[in-house]
A and B are shown apart, each in its own frame.
Chain A
């Protein structure tokens, strides 16, 4: 049975729907575009520099790690680019170069590769890195302190910090419309709520993000914020303010939806998102951190494996 022609042999099935890992990441990158462009518009050339450095060094660390660990380079799958981009979007525009380089090192090498690379990261690498930087160099990650020398044609202080320190009176002159279109200070790519929603809806429609996670996150956050607001309207700002201020929407669509650190079953996805919203509001209103998103994301990331154990019984299983 010797044949001249050489056929491809593999195991069933012989069809595939054509989806792939790189495409998933590049679509997420496309989805960040509106928010990134708005951010660059507001924060100017220093934001361009920080973002470019962030993406470039993320790719560099990934490449270097693969080289040293003698593995095939995984740069082409786009995850390093996406992590670098997300990390850069979380930074204040004037972040110094060494902070960016250290941050991407923490994200790619510590947050991603040391845990086993793609698919094995228990935390969102960029969030883990921001958390470490916040704990290490609080001044450099403080949005208010960092952006003090830039001129803005809108309220030049962080709305969440103001709300936390002085109650809802302090933010009464900030209109929700301004918050929506990004007229607030914050991370480079996280201020424009409408652009983030646009990107998020794109990802949901294309099936790269499961709608359950952002929807339950937003619901959990809004309901908790509303309860606080009802209990003491002078001290606690309302749900719409919290929805559009700080990292909230960025987290809803880009941070907590990270494949590897989020659940895959239906009910766990709802619990995971809602828990994230509740924890965020607790940190903002009761805890000490003004934004709270970063630590809330890490906390629900930890809970993920446990929550995801809630799953429907497989067919044919009795117990």
Chain B
């Protein structure tokens, strides 16, 4: 953590990780006794036969809550399903957590191998929704929102994290293969590959995509910021990337596709950056669903009461409450903070010092916006004070003298407004 210097209050200058030229292999994490996979759940329905408790699953097998399609993920291990527990993610997303007792030897499900000849979007939906780096491929087929552009982003979206860039740089052939497969499966020709420009200075190979460099200063690699840099506009209220015909996918997910189609097996190992209490980095590779407690134990990171475990980086990650939480397909990093290093938010009012204004990369009038958001006036905040220009980088909260959880207010406001818009559309 970078504290305020004694003199001055300059804008915090953070840079993304750039990685050196050496790529050490990630440390392998041993197969745990149980893994936990999260499946998006249809509320109120019983699980289908294939994932009932006691059912055997194979590595690479497609698991879905109900038998007639619906959201699915790929099992990362061979073993026996033990339990189903309801699980609520951030902002009320509902999942079912499926516990699987693992077996030492992997038996691979071969259903994917037969599909490698001709890549289709359906294959991507069926077999890659829970693959490392994961993306919601079903958005590629929504007839109401045709996708015209695919953006592959190679940088990491948070500080200290180097997972995505590592995959891009060390497995570039797999990523290139993945881009080709994406093209042929979707028929979309306009593909952008975005990476921090300095990380790719000496790259002279050919890439099957329109390569764009972005600055290495935080927050230029935030998805919303990349969108702005590519298309020169921001998302409007209620819009998602897909609404504007753009599909975002991480280089890691593209690499997984490339690797799967050349090897006939969907990768089940997730690469993670582990940041210990003194912010040393460890790159590890673990099965999706591995409880993080085991990984931290392997790295000799001790955990005590009132510590904080964060999935993701220091600016945009999310804190988890238990060391039993599983590594998921989109868990890029685990940051562990010692209890003594935590500076908690407060419920103080804004004192109008203006630090946020001078830090905001998108010139949002944060001091005014936060007054509206604190009062629950989300729509006014959006109309009068540029809520939708925010790229959710968290710098305002980082410098806030009153320690207001500004980013939380902003995300809550966007969430609530999206919910209201949805409800209005339903009523119409």
Contact = CB atoms under 8 A, between A and B. Distances in A.
Contact of B354 (A9, A264, A312): A264
B46 interface: no
B322 A2 contact: yes
A21 B401 contact: yes
Interface in B152-184: none
B12 interface: yes
Nearest to A318: B233
A260 B352 contact: yes
A135 interface: no
A118 B350 CA distance: 8
B316 interface: yes
B308 A3 contact: no
Given A11-B405, A15-B2, A119 B349 contact: yes
B399 A9 contact: no
B306 A12 contact: no
A4 B85 CA distance: 19
A314 B325 contact: no
B248 interface: no
A101 B367 CA distance: 34
Most buried by A among B85, B352, B386, B403: B352
Contacts of B323: 3, 5, 7
> Chain A at the B interface: mostly helix, strand, loop or mixed?
loop
Interface stretch (B129-137, B358-366, B417-425): B358-366
A150 interface: no
Nearest to A206: B7
Nearest to B411: A11
Given A14-B308, A312-B363, A119 B315 contact: no
Contacts of A10: 308, 319, 344-345, 405
Contact of A316 (B320, B355, B362): B362
B401 A264 contact: no
Contacts of B358: 264
Contacts of A315: 228, 234, 361-363, 389
B324 A1 contact: yes
A17 B315 CA distance: 12
B86 to A, nearest CB: 11
Nearest to B9: A207
Contact of B228 (A18, A205, A316): A316
Contact of B2 (A8, A12, A17): A17
Interface string B378-409: 00000000101100001101111111010110
A273 to B, nearest CB: 14
B339 interface: yes
B228 A16 contact: no
A15 B359 CA distance: 15
Contacts of A2: 322, 324
Given A3-B321, A315-B234, A17 B352 contact: no
Interface in A215-270: 259-260, 262-265
Most buried by A among B85, B87, B312, B342: B342
B360 to A, nearest CB: 8
A314 B405 contact: no
A138 interface: no
B1 A16 contact: yes
Most buried by B among A7, A205, A206, A207: A7
Contacts of B395: 13
A19 interface: yes
B394 A13 contact: yes
Contacts of B354: 210, 259, 263-265
B145 interface: no
Interface in B318-361: 318-325, 335, 337, 339, 342-345, 348-355, 357-358, 361
B8 interface: yes
B294 to A, nearest CB: 13
Interface in B5-31: 6-10, 12
Contacts of B4: 17-19, 207
Interface string B299-321: 00001111111101011111111
B105 interface: no
A12 B316 contact: yes
B286 to A, nearest CB: 18
Interface of B: 1-4, 6-10, 12, 36, 85, 87, 97, 228, 233-234, 303-310, 312, 314-325, 335, 337, 339, 342-345, 348-355, 357-358, 361-365, 367, 386, 388-389, 394-395, 397-403, 405, 407-408, 411
14 contacts: A1-B36, A1-B85, A2-B324, A3-B323, A11-B408, A12-B315, A12-B317, A14-B310, A14-B317, A14-B319, A15-B343, A264-B353, A311-B365, A315-B234
